[in-house]
C-alpha cells in the first residue's frame, strides 16, 4: 500500500479532530522517518504489517489513549522529551512554571532548588539547561516516574553533560530526610485535582497519583506550603487562588495566569 493511501484510510478511521496530523505522526514513527518523508514519498509502498500497526494505533487513539505514550515523545519548552505511562504528560501550562521559577532563580541568585514531584523530569532539566550553575534535588514517590526522569536526563545530557551531576533524583515524600537550609527554594507541579472530579477520557491513562491531590484536591499543596521554604513556586488548579490564606508566613505572594487567563500558579517568598 502507498503511503498516501495508508494515511487517507487511517484518517477515515480516526475520530479525533487532528486526525490527519496524528496519522502522519504515527506513520512517521512506524517507518522511523520524518513527516516530510511522507509528503515527498506519497507513492512509496509500505508493508501490510506497518499499515495494520497504524490502524491499531488509531484504535488506541479513539479510546482516548494519548499519542505521546504511543510514540514515547512529548514536546515541552521547544525540546523533545521521552515519556511513557510512568509519568504525567507535560502540558504547555507547565512551561509557565519553568518561566516563573527561572525568574525566581535569577532574581535571588539561587544555586540549589528542590523539585517536589519531578515526574518526567522536564522542569528540573529545563531549569538546569537555563541556569548552568544550578543544582536540583528532584523528588518523587514513584519509581516509574524517576525512571522516566533518568531517561530524560540521559537524553538531554547531549546538550549539557553536567546534568547527571547537577540533578539528584530521590525517591521520597516531600522533603522528608533531606538536608535543608534557611534559604530553601522549592518548585512543584503537584497533584491538585480533587478525588471526586470526573477527568476526561485521555487522563484515565495517566498516573493517578500525579493527578489527584486528595478529597479537596489541595492537600498536597498545603503540605508543600507548610514546609515553610524561603522561596516557593507552584502550579495549582484554576480555582485554588484561596491558597493565599495559607501563606500568611510569606512576605510576598503573587499568582500567575495561564494562556487561557485562568489562575495557574503562584510564587511566594520571604525577605
Q: Indicate the pTM of the whole model.
A: 0.94
∠ CA 241-247-250, nearest 5°, is 125
Q: Is residue 15 part of a domain?
A: yes
Q: How far apart are CA 148 and CA 156, in angstroms?
A: 12
**248 contacts 266 by C-beta, under 8 angstroms:** no
Q: Is residue 76 part of a domain?
A: no
Determine the pLDDT at residue 236. Answer: 97
The predicted-structure confidence for 132-190, as pLDDT tens digits, reads as follows: 999 999 999 999 999 999 999 999 999 999 999 999 999 999 999 999 998 999 999 99
Instruction: State the SS3 of 87-113.
Output: CCCCCCHHHHHHHHHHHHHHHHCCCEE
Number of domains in the chain: 2
Q: Is residue 70 part of a domain?
A: no
Q: How far is CA 172 from the centre of its chain?
A: 19
Q: Are strands 263-269 and 252-257 parallel, antiparallel or unpaired?
A: antiparallel
Query: Range of 33's domain?
Result: 3-63
Q: Identify whether residues 116 and 227 lie together within a single domain.
A: yes
The predicted-structure confidence for 83-95, as pLDDT tens digits, reads as follows: 999 999 999 999 9
Percent of the chain at pLDDT > 70 equals: 100
Q: What is the CATH number of the domain that holds 141?
A: 3.40.50.150
Confidence check: pLDDT of 59 > 90: yes
Distance separating the N- and C-terminal Cα atoms of the chain: 67
Q: Identify whether residues 32 and 159 lie together within a single domain.
A: no
Q: Identify whether residues 150 and 262 lie together within a single domain.
A: yes
Q: Is residue 47 part of a domain?
A: yes
Q: Identify whether residues 55 and 116 lie together within a single domain.
A: no
Determine the pLDDT at residue 224. Answer: 98
Q: Identify whether residues 149 and 184 lie together within a single domain.
A: yes
**266 contacts 236 by C-beta, under 8 angstroms:** yes
Q: Which three-class secondary structure state does DSSP give residue 240? A: coil
**197 contacts 204 by C-beta, under 8 angstroms:** no
Q: Is residue 105 part of a domain?
A: yes
Q: Is residue 16 part of a domain?
A: yes
Q: Is residue 82 part of a domain?
A: no
Count Cβ atoms within 10 A of the Cβ of residue 37 and give its class: 0-12 exposed, 13-18 middle, 19 or more buried: middle
Amino acid at each position: 500500500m502507498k503511503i498516501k493511501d495508508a494515511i487517507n484510510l487511517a484518517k477515515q478511521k480516526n475520530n479525533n479532530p487532528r486526525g490527519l496530523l496524528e496519522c502522519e505522526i504515527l506513520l512517521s514513527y512506524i517507518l522511523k522517518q520524518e513527516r516530510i518523508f511522507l509528503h515527498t514519498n506519497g507513492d512509496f509502498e509500505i508493508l501490510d504489517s506497518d499499515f495494520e500497526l497504524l490502524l491499531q494505533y488509531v484504535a488506541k487513539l479513539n479510546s482516548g489513549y494519548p499519542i505521546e505514550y504511543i510514540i514515547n515523545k512529548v514536546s515541552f519548552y521547544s525540546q523533545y522529551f521521552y515519556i511513557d505511562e510512568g509519568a504525567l504528560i507535560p502540558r504547555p501550562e507547565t512551561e509557565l512554571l519553568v518561566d516563573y521559577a527561572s525568574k525566581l532563580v535569577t532574581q535571588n541568585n539561587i544555586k540549589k532548588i528542590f523539585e517536589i514531584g519531578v515526574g518526567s523530569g522536564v522542569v528540573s532539566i529545563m531549569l538546569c539547561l537555563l541556569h548552568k550553575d544550578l543544582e536540583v534535588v528532584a523528588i518523587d514517590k514513584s519509581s516509574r516516574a524517576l525512571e522516566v526522569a533518568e531517561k530524560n536526563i540521559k537524553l538531554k545530557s547531549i546538550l549539557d553533560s553536567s546534568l547527571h551531576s547537577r540533578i539528584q533524583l530521590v525517591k521520597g515524600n516531600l522533603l522528608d530526610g533531606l538536608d535543608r537550609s534557611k534559604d530553601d527554594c522549592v518548585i512543584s507541579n503537584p497533584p491538585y485535582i480533587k478525588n471526586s472530579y470526573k477527568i476526561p477520557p485521555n487522563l484515565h491513562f495517566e498516573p493517578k497519583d500525579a493527578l489527584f491531590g486528595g478529597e479537596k484536591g489541595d492537600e498536597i499543596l498545603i503540605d508543600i506550603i507548610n514546609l515553610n521554604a524561603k522561596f516557593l513556586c507552584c502550579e495549582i488548579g484554576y480555582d485554588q487562588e484561596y491558597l493565599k490564606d495559607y501563606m500568611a508566613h510569606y512576605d510576598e505572594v503573587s499568582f500567575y495566569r495561564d494562556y487561557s487567563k485562568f489562575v495557574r500558579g503562584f510564587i511566594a517568598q520571604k525577605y
